Amino acid sequence: MQWETVIGLEIHAQLATKSKIFSGASTAFGAEPNTQACVVDLGLPGVLPVLNGEAVTMAVRFGTAIEAEIGRRSVFARKNYFYPDLPKGYQISQFESPIVGRGHVEILLEDGSAKLIGVTRAHLEEDAGKSLHEDFHGQTGIDLNRAGTPLLEIVSEPDMRSAKEAVAYARRIHQIVRYLGICDGNMQEGSFRCDANVSVRPMGQKAFGTRAELKNINSFRFLERAINFEVERQIDLIESGGKVVLETRLYDPNRDETRSMRSKEEANDYRYFPDPDLLPVELDEDFIAAITAGLPEMPDAKRHRFMKDYGLSAADAEALTAGRALADYYETVAKTSGDVRLAANWVMVELGAALNREGLDILDCPVKAESFGGLVARIKDDTISGKIAKQVFEAMWAGEGDADAIIEARGLRQITDSGAIEAAVDEVLATNPQQVENYRAADEAKRPKMLGFFVGQVMKRSQGKANPQQVNELLMAKLGG
Binding residues for ligand ADP, rule: CB under 6 A, are 6-10, 155-158, 197-199, 208-209, 211, 213
CA distance 2 to 199: 14
- Which of residues 231 and 389 has its CB atom nearest to ligand ADP in the complex? 231
Which among Mg ion, ligand ADP, none contacts residue 128 (Cβ within 5 to 8 A by kind)? Answer: none
Residues in contact with Mg ion, shown as a per-residue x/- string from 6 to 25 under the rule CB under 5 A:
----x---------------
User: Among Mg ion, ligand ADP, none, what does residue 199 contact (CB within 5–8 Å per kind)?
Assistant: ligand ADP
> Distance between CA atoms of 314 and 400, rounded to whole angstroms?
35
Residue closer to ligand ADP by CB (options 157, 404) is 157
Distance of CA 57 to CAs 14, 68, 330, Å?
A: 14, 14, 30
Cβ proximity to ligand ADP: between 194 and 471 the closer is 194
Q: How far is the CB of 137 from ligand ADP (least distance, A)?
A: 34
Residue number, 10 or 339, with CB nearest to ligand ADP: 10
- Say which entry of ligand ADP, Mg ion, none residue 157 contacts (CB below 5 to 8 A, set by partner kind): ligand ADP
Of all residues in this chain, which one has the CB nearest to ligand ADP in the complex?
A: 8
Count of beta carbons in the 10 Å neighbourhood of residue 121: 21
Overall size of the chain counted in residues: 481
Nearest residue relative to Mg ion (C-beta) = 10
Contact of residue 155 among Mg ion, ligand ADP, none (CB under 5-8 Å per partner type): ligand ADP
Least distance CB 63 / ligand ADP (angstroms): 17
Residue 125, contacted partner among Mg ion, ligand ADP, none, CB below 5-8 A by kind: none
- Smallest distance from ligand ADP to CB 153, Å: 9
| Whole-number Å distance between alpha carbons of 224 and 226 | 6
Taking the CA atoms of 330, 332, 335 and 338 in sequence, report the sign of the dihedral they define.
negative
Q: Which does 68 bind (CB under 5 to 8 A by kind): Mg ion, ligand ADP, none?
A: none
User: For residue 115, what is the enclosing H or E element?
Assistant: strand 114-126
Per DSSP bridges, beta strands 103-108 and 114-126 are antiparallel
Task: Compute the distance between CA of residue 263 and CA of residue 213 in angstroms, rounded to an integer.
Answer: 10
Q: Are 280 and 96 in contact (CB under 8 A)?
A: no
Cα 216 to Cα 258: distance, rounded to the nearest angstrom: 10
Outline where DSSP puts E strands in 219-286: 247-252, 257-263, 273-274, 281-282
Using CA atoms, how far residue 250 sits from 6, 107, 216, in Å, is 18, 27, 6
Given Mg ion, ligand ADP, none, residue 226, with its beta carbon under 5 to 8 Å by kind, binds: none
Quick one: 224 or 350, whose CB is closer to ligand ADP?
A: 224
Where do contacts with Mg ion occur on this chain (CB under 5 A)?
10
